A and B are shown apart, each in its own frame.
Chain A
Amino acid sequence: MTWEEMRPLLEQGTIDTLYMVLWSTVVTVIGGLPLGVLLVLTDKGGLLQNRPVNKVIGAIVNIGRSLPFIILLVALIPVTTLVVGTFIGPTAMIVPLSIGAIPFFARLVETAIREVDHGLVEAVQSMGGGIPTIVGKVLLPQALPSLIAALTTTVITLISYSALAGAVGGEGLGSKVITYGYQRFETGFMLITVVLLIVIVTVVQLLGDLAVRLLARRGRTA
């Protein structure tokens, strides 16, 4: 393959990958953040202690986490078809990608929220703050650096999931590698794609780290 042949493939693949990752990240945050918060609140000793709810959410999250993503992709085909109308293409892939990443992100959110000092919760309670205040003004802002780190990890996981999605009809760099690099033995193309993926992941990680550092620096030095 010449560079002229590769370029449009790489461009389209990158655009599709970024599209899938971006939208599934949005859905993952919308779904995973409340789940993670609920896991903490409903836990024993939590502000909304509710064992049944906690057990059910925990079980759903664990099931989601324990399925290999490739199996989830195939198993979710009916759901994807129902939601998007098709199970092929980048838009359709947002469904399995989000469903695969939500439990993952929810657990990370749970861990981040748990690290918030309980004394702060107590302080806000002593001011007469209710649960929405505690979540909105204490738990989330205080856990923000950890939440950003969790988000970075999740986005990188989604990038790797999105490559896998190429195997079942999703577009993106993954599907290009399978079609050209693997099935047509274009080793050069494969290498370039791999390098491209590494670059994307590195950029995401650097941006995430930068954000965490900026947030964490608050309050340390002037």
Chain B
Amino acid sequence: MITTKGLTKVYESRGRQVTALDGVDLHVREGEVFGVIGQSGAGKSSLIRCVNLLERPTSGTVTVDGTDLTALAGRGRRAGKDLRRARSRIGMVFQHFNLLSSRTVKDNIELPLEILGVAGAERSRRALELLDLVGLADKAKSYPGQLSGGQKQRVGIARALAGNPKVLLSDEATSALDPETTRSILQLLRDLNRQLGLTVLLITHEMDVVKQICDSAALMKRGRVVESGTVAELLATPGSELARELFPVTGDASADDRTVIDVTFHGEAATQPVISQLSRTYNIDISILGAAMDTVGGRQIGRMRIELPGRYEENVVPVGFLREQGLQVEVIGEEPQRPAQGLVKEIAK
């Protein structure tokens, strides 16, 4: 639905060049909620603004729903008619809502329809329908200044949906809201995603947002996408920082002669009650030190940190059992094999 290829954005300020986006390739599938996470300054904001060309990328292409927006934009600074029409099919919600304080809630929602040239009666009908959809049917005549943050964002979402977009861009939509309101707004986005088949691209600095509603996620650092994929794919990637953050596990060994291992559940393999099988098969006592698990479609995904009695040398067989079940196993405290592999690669070069 949304594809960016080699997206680069370089800002020039007082002769200095700042690279905000450094060759970003992103692919958002139709009907999914895709979260881009990163710290401030990582380039998330530039990325989402480049998707509807509020900012012109320095190079690279953006394709939304089969239309190459970068080609529509042309060279001029001003957005031409074609680009503006394409933008009207992409909804956008903002961190600070960006509602017009001079208009009522209903008139705010009608604004995109006015731009599209929809007739008055139809605009009014559609605005009330959207207010109902976001649960604010009684606030039509209020002004934004009379609403709470969560209500304002609902209006923002209704406004973004007015033009029947297939794609919704969310620029830190919940970052100015308290945790409870954040959850309800995310739930609303999730519902809209399912009900309307809306593709959502959101950027956030909060891992909880990704955890709660995203099907896929990408991690941005210094203008680059360093990891990206569906949540299951990320979990399947050894050493994935996103997977570790999405499913954080902690806990230390209770004594010296214990083996602590992190088990990652993902994909097909995670349908069996492996931990209890392990315990029964080898007759060992297993302590769970920490776990971050979700059940999606009857499958468990997530990570678990468990402790086995005895040192690693004594637990080679049980660890092998877990690996045979298709689980990813990482032994904590043992030197992983990777540095050695790195060394081999260095030599190979």
Q: Which residues of A contact B (CB under 8 A)?
A: 47-49, 117, 119-120, 122-131, 133, 137-138, 141-142, 144, 215, 218-222
Contact = CB atoms under 8 A, between A and B. Distances in A.
B88 A128 contact: yes
8 contacts: A117-B98, A122-B54, A122-B98, A127-B87, A137-B111, A142-B101, A215-B102, A219-B146
B213 interface: no
Interface residues of B, number: 34
A49 B77 CA distance: 9
Interface of B: 52, 54, 77-79, 84-88, 90-92, 94, 96, 98-103, 111-112, 114-116, 142-146, 159, 163, 169
Contacts of A49: 77
Given A126-B52, A126-B90, A128-B112, A218 B100 contact: no
Given A133-B114, A222-B142, 18 more contacts: A117-B96, A119-B96, A123-B94, A125-B54, A125-B87, A126-B52, A126-B54, A127-B159, A129-B115, A137-B111, A141-B103, A142-B102, A218-B101, A219-B102, A219-B145, A220-B145, A220-B146, A221-B146
Contacts of B169: 126
Contacts of B78: 47-48, 131
Nearest to B163: A127
A123 B143 contact: no
Contact of A219 (B85, B114, B143): B143
Contact of B79 (A125, A138, A220): A125
Nearest to B96: A119
A128 B54 contact: no
Nearest to A49: B77
The 9 closest A-B pairs by CB, nearest first: A219-B145, A219-B143, A128-B88, A123-B98, A128-B84, A126-B92, A127-B112, A128-B87, A119-B98
B72 to A, nearest CB: 12
Nearest to B102: A141
Contacts of A141: 100, 102-103
Nearest to B112: A127
A146 B85 CA distance: 32
A72 B79 CA distance: 42
A124 B102 contact: no
Which of the listed residues A47, A123, A124 has the most CB atoms from chain B within 10 Å of its own CB?
A123
B100 A138 contact: yes
A120 B90 contact: no
A63 B77 CA distance: 31
A127 B103 CA distance: 16
Contacts of B91: 126
Contacts of B88: 127-128
A15 B78 CA distance: 48
A41 to B, nearest CB: 11
Nearest to A130: B84
Contacts of B99: 123
